[in-house]
């Protein structure tokens, strides 16, 4: 064969591969409101940066007449490219080929790029759109999934792993995304479930739609499985690009500091007024966050789930930082099972990838009652305690208002190796709020009083208690708070604290791994 004809053959094969399952199925994919696997890669990566691997791989199955049908690439596109110049490895499942279902060779392609991502120390991104195990391949498909899971587990805490779900993700296939650090689901076009609506109906009699069982809404507001619900795939892709900006390439590197044009000593007079006079009145912690961070940019994770705690990424003087903050605007910012789990996982991600953590505290305590107790608030609250106590990244804590009881300890207090712990003058650091304290301490006396006497007594005692305990100075007197700062100067103090802490070195004792109360 002449050289030119050999080259022409290559070009023809590439063109064939580019068509995936063919024009008809591409059209059907578009009709479903979805992009193709290749279009998604084009949107995600820097232009021209994608290098594809294993384009010529086909399956080896001969059952069910499968030897008569082959598609180049076998239903998944794999390779590497760059996002804002930084290397990432990725795979993108192609629903136009056998419904994106996973075969033995398909799994091998994914495993190859996972191994390469680990060798190079670069993030891994998986775009999921698949009917799950390729039915014709039987146990080989199950084995293929398990190969991927094992690699997800080994990569956890070594390279950042992000999963986008832009179509179906069913059965055991859900466990690869679940093992990764962040899951993004596109609204109305994606779903995740271990068993689908038909099986649910057959086994339990429950009649439920696919969207209500495992759509993006459900997983971003009820189960917490999805960290971001994107309005569409374009937004989902933007979120992936944004996340990568906050992450280092791997656990041995620091996140990348960028140039900051927002003055580091910007005073925010509004913050001096933001805490309401009435301690029971809420305010929006997000107003505080947006005021403090560079250029009001905050990427909130799990925004719709466990809204009593806020988690997300921002920059301070260009340095990526994780923020954990109680939200007085939702359930008074109380800690409960879901908010503890949410924040614990976030803290552990930041710690694994050297991202400093800012904690903003306004917490009245743990949510009381049998629902919480019987569902394990003890072990779930302990997750957050464990995560903070184990974290060795720079930790700056600011108490804005309430910090009561066990919740005070959990929210990155000094003794959990909080590095710099500041309080606003409005802080109330105590065992419990004035009302509860008076009831416990003076209950017997109150019972013997007339209602008028009791009211007068309680008011006086509350004032006394507030004067004594509901302030930052009692904690500051013992050095549990390093400094009481003026709210409007908080941005500068945070930036200076993290700058001072940038060379922090701290190691935990050598061990195989801890035993976080899962």
CB of 237 to ligand HXC, least distance (A): 21
Q: Is 472 an interacting residue with respect to ligand HXC (CB under 6 A)?
A: no
The verdict on whether 406 is a catalytic residue reads yes
C-beta closer to ligand HXC: residue 65 or 452: 65
Residue for token pair 């498909």: 141
Q: Is 131 an interacting residue with respect to ligand HXC (CB under 6 A)?
A: yes
CB of 198 to ligand HXC, least distance (A): 8
Q: Where do the DSSP E strands lie in 112-154?
A: 124-128
Report 16-55 residues binding ligand HXC (CB under 6 A): 25
Find the catalytic residue in 172, 196, 224, 318.
172
CB 375 within 8 Å of CB 400: no
**Looking at 157, 172, 224, 517, which residue binds ligand HXC (CB under 6 A)?**
172
CB of 348 to ligand HXC, least distance (A): 25
CB of 64 to ligand HXC, least distance (A): 9
Q: Is 214 an interacting residue with respect to ligand HXC (CB under 6 A)?
A: no
Q: How many CB atoms lie within 10 A of CB 204?
A: 10
Q: Is 142 an interacting residue with respect to ligand HXC (CB under 6 A)?
A: yes
CB of 162 to ligand HXC, least distance (A): 20
How far is Cα 481 from Cα 491, in angstroms, rounded to an integer? 18
C-beta closer to ligand HXC: residue 134 or 402: 134
How far is Cα 246 from Cα 142, in angstroms, rounded to an integer? 34
C-beta closer to ligand HXC: residue 150 or 223: 150
Q: Is 106 an interacting residue with respect to ligand HXC (CB under 6 A)?
A: no
Find the catalytic residue in 171, 312, 333, 389.
171
Instruction: Select the span of 76-84, 126-134, 310-318, 424-432 touching ligand HXC (CB under 6 A).
Output: 126-134
The verdict on whether 312 is a catalytic residue reads no
C-beta closer to ligand HXC: residue 177 or 405: 177
What are the backbone angles phi and psi of residue 276, rounded to the nearest 5°?
A: -65, 150
Q: Is 397 an interacting residue with respect to ligand HXC (CB under 6 A)?
A: no
How far is Cα 150 from Cα 49, in angstroms, rounded to an integer? 28
Q: What share of the chain is helix, strand, coil (3-state, %, to 5)?
A: 45, 20, 35
Residue for token pair 């009211």: 455
**Looking at 35, 50, 106, 145, which residue binds ligand HXC (CB under 6 A)?**
145
Q: Is 434 an interacting residue with respect to ligand HXC (CB under 6 A)?
A: no
Instruction: Select the span of 43-51, 165-173, 238-246, 490-498 touching ligand HXC (CB under 6 A).
Output: 165-173
How far is Cα 309 from Cα 300, in angstroms, rounded to an integer? 11
The verdict on whether 99 is a catalytic residue reads no
Q: Cβ neighbours of residue 469 under 8 Å, at least 6 residues apart? A: 428, 429, 430, 431, 434, 437
Q: Is 364 an interacting residue with respect to ligand HXC (CB under 6 A)?
A: no
Q: How many CB atoms lie within 10 A of CB 34?
A: 21
CB 181 within 8 Å of CB 162: yes
Report 259-278 residues binding ligand HXC (CB under 6 A): none
Residue for token pair 């505290």: 361
Find the catalytic residue in 157, 224, 406, 436.
406
**Looking at 40, 80, 134, 401, which residue binds ligand HXC (CB under 6 A)?**
134
How far is Cα 132 from Cα 137, in angstroms, rounded to an integer? 11
How far is Cα 422 from Cα 444, in angstroms, rounded to an integer? 37
Listed residue (1, 14, 191) closest to 95, CA to CA:
191
C-beta closer to ligand HXC: residue 140 or 380: 140
Q: Kindly report the length of the chain.
A: 518
Q: Is 173 an interacting residue with respect to ligand HXC (CB under 6 A)?
A: yes
Listed residue (188, 95, 111) closest to 144, CA to CA:
111
Q: Is 166 an interacting residue with respect to ligand HXC (CB under 6 A)?
A: no
Instruction: Select the span of 43-51, 169-177, 250-258, 275-283 touching ligand HXC (CB under 6 A).
Output: 169-177
CB of 59 to ligand HXC, least distance (A): 11
Find the catalytic residue in 407, 427, 434, 476.
407
How far is Cα 248 from Cα 40, in angstroms, rounded to an integer? 23
Listed residue (109, 106, 93, 97) closest to 142, CA to CA:
106
What are the backbone angles phi and psi of residue 473, rounded to the nearest 5°?
A: -80, -30
6: tokens are 């050999």
* Interface map 72-101 toward ligand HXC (x if CB under 6 A): --------------------------xx-x
Instruction: Select the span of 80-88, 170-178, 201-209, 308-316 touching ligand HXC (CB under 6 A).
Output: 170-178
CB of 19 to ligand HXC, least distance (A): 14
CB of 133 to ligand HXC, least distance (A): 4
CB 240 within 8 Å of CB 44: yes
How far is Cα 213 from Cα 198, in angstroms, rounded to an integer? 11
Q: Is 170 an interacting residue with respect to ligand HXC (CB under 6 A)?
A: yes
The verdict on whether 121 is a catalytic residue reads no
CB of 171 to ligand HXC, least distance (A): 2
C-beta closer to ligand HXC: residue 190 or 426: 190
Which string of DSSP letters, residue by residue, matches 201-260? HHHH-----HHHHHBHHHHHHTS---SEEESSHHHHHHHHHHHHHHS-SSTTSPPPP---
Which contiguous run of DSSP H or E holds residue 374? Answer: helix 370-374
C-beta closer to ligand HXC: residue 138 or 276: 138
Q: How many CB atoms lie within 10 A of CB 236?
A: 26
Q: State the residues that interact with ligand HXC by CB under 6 A.
A: 25, 98-99, 101, 131-135, 142, 145, 168, 170-173
Tell me which residues are annotated as active site. Answer: 171-172, 406-407
């Amino acid at each position: 064969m002449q050289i030119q004809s050999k080259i022409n053959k290559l070009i023809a094969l590439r063109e064939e591969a580019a068509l995936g399952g063919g024009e008809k199925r591409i059209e059907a994919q578009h009709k479903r409101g979805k992009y193709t696997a290749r279009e998604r890669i084009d949107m995600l990566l820097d232009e021209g940066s994608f290098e594809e691997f294993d384009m010529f791989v086909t399956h080896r199955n001969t059952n069910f007449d499968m030897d008569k049908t082959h598609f180049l690439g076998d239903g998944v596109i794999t390779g590497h490219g760059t996002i804002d110049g930084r290397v990432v490895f990725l795979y993108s499942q192609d629903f136009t080929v056998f419904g994106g279902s996973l075969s033995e060779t398909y799994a091998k392609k994914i495993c190859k790029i996972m191994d390469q991502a680990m060798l190079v120390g670069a993030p891994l991104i998986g775009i999921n759109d698949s009917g799950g195990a390729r039915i014709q391949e039987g146990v080989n498909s199950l084995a293929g999934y398990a190969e991927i899971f094992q690699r997800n587990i080994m990569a956890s805490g070594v390279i950042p792993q992000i999963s986008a779900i832009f179509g179906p993700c069913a059965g055991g296939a859900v466990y690869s995304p679940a093992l990764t650090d962040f899951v993004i689901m596109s609204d109305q076009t994606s779903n995740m479930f271990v068993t689908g609506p038909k099986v649910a109906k057959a086994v339990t009699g429950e009649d439920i739609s696919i969207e209500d069982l495992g759509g993006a809404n459900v997983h971003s507001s009820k189960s917490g499985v999805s960290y971001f619900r994107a309005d569409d795939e374009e937004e989902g892709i933007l979120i992936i690009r944004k996340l990568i900006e906050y992450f280092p390439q791997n656990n041995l590197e620091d996140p990348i500091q960028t140039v900051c044009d927002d003055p580091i000593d910007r005073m925010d007079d509004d913050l001096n007024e933001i805490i309401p006079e009435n301690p029971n009145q809420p305010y929006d912690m997000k107003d505080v966050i947006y005021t403090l961070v560079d250029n009001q940019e905050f990427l909130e994770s799990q925004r719709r789930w466990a809204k009593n705690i806020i988690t997300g990424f921002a920059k301070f003087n260009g340095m990526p930082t994780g923020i954990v903050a109680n939200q007085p605007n939702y359930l008074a910012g109380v800690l409960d099972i879901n908010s503890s789990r949410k924040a614990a996982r976030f803290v552990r991600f930041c710690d694994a990838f050297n991202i400093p953590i800012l904690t903003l505290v306004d917490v009245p305590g743990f949510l009381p009652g049998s629902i919480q107790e019987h569902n394990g608030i003890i072990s779930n609250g302990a997750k957050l305690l464990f995560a903070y106590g184990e974290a060795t990244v720079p930790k700056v804590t600011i108490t804005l208002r309430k910090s009561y009881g066990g919740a005070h300890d959990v929210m990155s207090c000094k003794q959990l190796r909080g590095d710099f712990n500041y309080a606003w003058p409005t802080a109330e650091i105590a065992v419990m709020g004035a009302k509860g304290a008076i009831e416990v301490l003076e209950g017997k006396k109150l019972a013997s009083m007339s209602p008028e006497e009791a009211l007068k007594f309680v008011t006086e005692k509350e004032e006394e208690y507030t004067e004594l305990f509901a302030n930052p100075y009692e904690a500051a007197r013992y050095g549990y708070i390093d400094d009481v700062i003026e709210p409007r100067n908080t941005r500068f103090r945070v930036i200076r604290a993290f700058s001072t802490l940038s060379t922090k070195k701290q190691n935990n004792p050598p061990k195989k791994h801890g035993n976080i109360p899962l």
